[in-house]
Chain A
Amino acid sequence: MTATLIVAMFAELFPNGISHYVIGGLLVGLGVAVIYLGTGIPAGASTFLESTLSYGSSLARFERYRTSRDWRVVFTLGIVAGAAVYALTFQSGLLSSGLQPGATTGELREVGGVTIWLTEVQPWRLFLGGILIGIGTRLGKGCTSGHGVCGVGSASGASFVGVTTFLLVAIGVAQLVAATGVNP
């Protein structure tokens, strides 16, 4: 009886299972760990936004990231390439595993033998959200990888505060937007 209840609750909380979330999360951590072990740098993804602006702007705020801007471009290209490897393998059906349920959202489309994935979230949400993310992550000293992964992994008080703040606010906003009937 209790077991049935637990199984039912689990299916309710995790309708798509957890294996791909767990494996993906461990890999995200491993990527950070590889860079950290070699260089001592806890790499976050959002500093790239400012460091890259230093190529075209001499504002003091961006100049401070000059010495790290090259490797941050390489880190970002690595992220894009790593996701592309996923697209070429699991997403395109070249590899399959019971641990990877496949896309449950958006639209899959065949382009020259490769399956690409396209979002159905409306462009205005992406653009407006992007602007706020650009402002907020830089003002708040980190994003989901800087605070959420590296900062929490460092047991940093500032990061616990940052993560709690953006998590609670994001939940409120997403629920509000959904309640007004915007979908997706």
Chain B
Amino acid sequence: MAAEHEQHPLFLPLVFVGGLIFGFGLGFSHMAQPEVVLNFLQFEDFGLLFVMFGAAVVTGITFFGVKQFRSEAPLTGAIYGRRLKTLDTNVVIGGGIFGVGWGLSGICPGAAYASLGVGNIFILYGIAGMFVGAYVQGYWRSVRTESESPAAAAD
């Protein structure tokens, strides 16, 4: 299996530039500050809504608009599609667990990486926790899938 980025020499540079804009946006919008996110969740400053929906509007226009002009992405040949996931109980249970973590800490993955970028070394506690959590669920689900049936690797 070839790595996805091996399809075109500009793949990785483009991903880096996209990440750069994304991270700058998180810094500029103060989402890299967990306190600001907690202030939103505690109804003290509703600005976060502008960040999340502002971003979703841009991606929405892009996702739906690009198909009027092209059908395939230039660097991969992939057909432009929407980000659709199957709705099942995992979405609700996982979303609920994420919600507890988000409400407790005021951080989420993208904002945590950006927080490191603005110099917040204490965010490493949060990022370390995220890796621990991702490993725990991965271990548990890998073991469970093997014990059930090897072919039924669920999402």
Please report A residues at the B interface, Cβ cutoff 8 Å.
13-18, 20-46, 48-50, 52-53, 57, 59-62, 64, 66-71, 74-87, 90-91, 100, 103-106, 109, 111, 114-121, 123, 125-159, 161-163, 165-178, 184
Contacts and interface: CB of A to CB of B under 8 A. Distances in A.
Contact of A153 (B24, B60, B94, B97): B60
B123 A153 contact: no
A75 B19 contact: yes
Given A25-B51, A25-B52, A151-B85, A133 B27 contact: no
B25 A24 contact: yes
Interface residues of B, number: 126
A85 B5 CA distance: 25
Contacts, number: 590
Interface of B is mostly: helix
A111 B109 CA distance: 26
A31 B20 contact: yes
A131 B85 contact: no
Contact of A26 (B36, B54, B90): B54
Contacts of B39: 105
B94 A137 contact: yes
A126 B125 contact: yes
21 contacts: A18-B47, A20-B29, A21-B54, A28-B58, A32-B58, A70-B12, A79-B19, A79-B110, A79-B117, A82-B27, A83-B27, A105-B39, A126-B126, A130-B125, A132-B133, A135-B134, A136-B133, A152-B52, A153-B62, A159-B83, A169-B95
